[in-house]
Amino acid sequence: MLLVLKTLSFFLKSILIGVIISSVILLLVPDLREGSGMPLTLFTEQESSKKLSFNSAVNAAGPAVVNIYSQSIERSGYQRRQAVERTNLGSGVIMTSNGYILTCYHVIANAKLILVGLQDGRLEEAQIVGFDSITDLAVLSVSAENLHPIPQLEDPKTLVGDVVLALGNPYNLGQTVTQGIVSRINNNGLNNFFDYIQTDAVLNQGNSGGALVDSEGVLIGINNANFKTRISPNRVESVDGVSFALPYSLAKKVMSEIIATGKVTRGALGFEGQQGGLTSTGIIVTDVIEGTPAELGGLQVKDLILSVNDIPAISVRDTLDYIADTTPGSTIVLEVNRDGTILKLDMVVGELQ
C-alpha cells in the first residue's frame, strides 16, 4: 500500500511540474499556443480594435452637408442678346434647425432658382437671405422640418497639423469625404478682406460651400476654392494639395449679420499703412485714397497713427479691423504724429465697397 501511494505521489508531482513547464513555454513562445486547446485569454488581455476611423465624425457632420443646384440666365453672343440657361453645382452646410444654410456666393450668384438636396433624399427650394461678395459667403433659407444642424463650437481651436475632413458633392457624385491636415492658418482680418484655412484635403468642382470639419465632426470652416496658378496667358490650373476654407468664426459672424440685416456692412476710412519701425509703435500711413474720409479728415502720407478713439494702434490688422467694425457715419478720432507734432483728426467713417 505504501508503495502505491509513493508511486501515485510521484506521478502527480511529475504532471504538476509538466503543466508548469508547459505554461511557461507557452507564455514565452506565443506561436506555440495555436492548437494547444488552451484559451488565449489566459496569457493575453482582449485587445480592442486599433483601426483608425473617422466614421463617427462623418456621421455627426454628414447629414448637415447638402447639395446645391442653382439655375441662372446668362447673356452671351453678339452684344449679349442670347439668353443661356446655366446650372451651377455646389454644396452647403445646415447651420440652424430652422433652415439657415451657409454656402459660397459664387455657387448661387445671379441664380433664378436654387434647389437644396438633403441627405435624406428631400429636395427643397431655397431662398437667398443675403450674401457677402468680399468673403464669398451666402446665406440661404429652406422651409423644412427635421433638419440636422452641423456640430459647432464657439471656438473650435483649429491648429496647424490638425486632421480635417472636407465634405461636399464633387461632380454631383453624391456626398464625398476627403481627408487632410491644416497646412496653414492665415489671419488677415477683415481689413484684408478675409482670413482663411489652408488644407491639403482635395476639393473639386461641387465642393464649394461644403463643410471642413475636425476629427470629431465639428465645423471649422466653409470650403471655398483650390489654389489656382496661371501657366499661360489663357490657361489657369488648380494646384493639387492647396485648398482654402473660410474659418468658422468669420463665417458665423458674416451669417449672423446677414440674417439680422440682410447684408454685411463694414466701415472704412480709405488709407493704407504699415507697422512702425523697430524703434517706434503705431502705423505709418503709406497711401491716402482721394475723396475718402481719410483725405477729407486731413490724414497724410507718412503720418504715424498712434491711436484710434484712444485705442493704441499697435497692430495694423487690429486697427483696421476696429475701423471695419465701426458703423458707417460714426465719427472717430485718430491721434497722429506728424513730424514730431501730435495732432487729433476727426473723421466720419465711410462704408467699405
For residue 117 the three cell numbers come to 438636396
pTM above the 0.75 mark?
Answer: no
C-alpha separations of 197 from 71, 164, 212, 257, 278 in Å: 29, 11, 10, 22, 30
| Residue type at position 103 | T
For residue 116 the three cell numbers come to 437644396
- In this prediction, residue 25 carries a pLDDT of 57
Q: Position of cell 506555440?
A: 32
Q: Which residues, 6 or more positions from 247, have their beta carbon under 8 angstroms from its beta carbon?
A: 158, 185, 195, 196, 197, 220, 221
- In this prediction, residue 186 carries a pLDDT of 78
pLDDT by position in tens, the chain (length 353): 555 455 556 555 655 565 566 665 555 555 555 554 545 454 455 555 678 899 999 999 999 999 999 988 766 555 556 666 778 899 999 999 999 999 999 999 989 999 999 999 999 999 999 999 888 999 999 999 999 999 999 999 999 999 999 999 999 999 999 999 999 887 654 444 467 899 999 888 899 999 999 999 999 999 987 655 444 456 545 667 788 999 999 999 999 999 999 988 889 999 988 887 655 688 999 999 999 999 999 999 999 999 999 999 988 888 888 998 899 999 999 999 999 999 999 999 998 87
- In 3-state terms the chain splits into helix, strand, coil percentages (rounded to 5) of 25, 40, 35
Q: Which residues, 6 or more positions from 7, have their beta carbon under 8 angstroms from its beta carbon?
A: none
Name the DSSP letter for residue 149.
P
- The answer to whether residue 208 is catalytic is yes
- In this prediction, residue 231 carries a pLDDT of 46
Instruction: Report the distance separating Cα 100 and Cα 257, nearest Å.
Output: 13
Please identify which of the residues 141, 208, 243, 307 carries the catalytic annotation.
Answer: 208
Q: Are 165 and 201 in contact (CB under 8 A)?
A: yes
Rg, the chain, Cα only = 32
Please identify which of the residues 91, 106, 214, 307 carries the catalytic annotation.
Answer: 106
Instruction: Report the distance separating Cα 207 and Cα 219, nearest Å.
Output: 15
Sign of torsion, CA 201 207 213 219? positive
Please identify which of the residues 70, 91, 132, 136 carries the catalytic annotation.
Answer: 136
